[in-house]
Amino acid sequence: MKKIIAFAGSNSKNSINNDLATYASSLIKDVEISVLDLNDFELPLYGIDFEIEHGIPDNALKFLDHIKSSDGIILSLAEHNGAYSAVFKNIFDWMSRAEKNVWYDKPMLLMAASPGGRGGQSVLEIAQGKFPRMGANITGVFSLPFFQKNFSEGKIIDEELNNHLKQVVSIFSNVI
Ligand SMILES: Cc1cc2nc3c(=O)[nH]c(=O)nc-3n(C[C@H](O)[C@H](O)[C@H](O)COP(=O)(O)O)c2cc1C
């Protein structure tokens, strides 16, 4: 059975991006899904001095292993000040020190959710510019604005947005 990892670029216990990544992964049938939590991969703040002294921490290597052994990645990024959240940037930086091809050429469904109207468009633009140069095969992009209005009881309640998500999920599941 194909293995998918789903995770949020967030360390919030109530992460809306975790809700979206979990929901999107539930739409794919007959796959093994692991929902990963960045809180389980605690890391020191990246710094060259720490790296020279201690090397790359195990948790960065463990997360890379999850990516490498998967058949596809569902990632929903939190947007902080128009960019990656600190916790995502940190693990991304650490992983990139061990492996330039961080995403290992895996298919990726790239998403973002936000409470506001832009739906994390800025962080999505940054990721779309960078991830393909680090081995991501982005099969589709989905943005969920006004999360509190559009998402309830574990799913998207706006029909148009839900149909769009189903389309990108379907393309992703055909590629994995
Ligand atoms: C420091 C900080 C900066 C933020 N900047 C943005 C932003 O630039 N754009 C946006 O849409 N939301 C922004 N937000 C709101 C987040 O989208 C919101 O907290 C969301 O719940 C984060 O996703 P998460 O629940 O998955 O962690 C910001 C929140 C914080 C704490």
* Burial class (CB within 10 angstroms; exposed 0-12, middle 13-18, buried 19+) of 170: middle
What domain count does the chain have?
Answer: 1
Residue with the nearest Cα to atom 28 of ligand 1?
80
Atom of ligand 1 nearest to the CA of 14: 25
Q: How confident is the model at residue 84 (pLDDT cuts 50, 70, 90)?
A: very high
* Burial class (CB within 10 angstroms; exposed 0-12, middle 13-18, buried 19+) of 110: buried
* Range(s) of the domain holding residue 25: 3-175
Atom of ligand 1 nearest to the CA of 81: 8
Q: What's this model's pTM, rounded to 2 decimal places?
A: 0.98
What are the tens digits of pLDDT across the range 118-167? 999 999 999 999 999 999 999 999 999 999 999 999 999 999 999 999 99
Residue 50 belongs to a domain with what CATH number?
Answer: 3.40.50.360
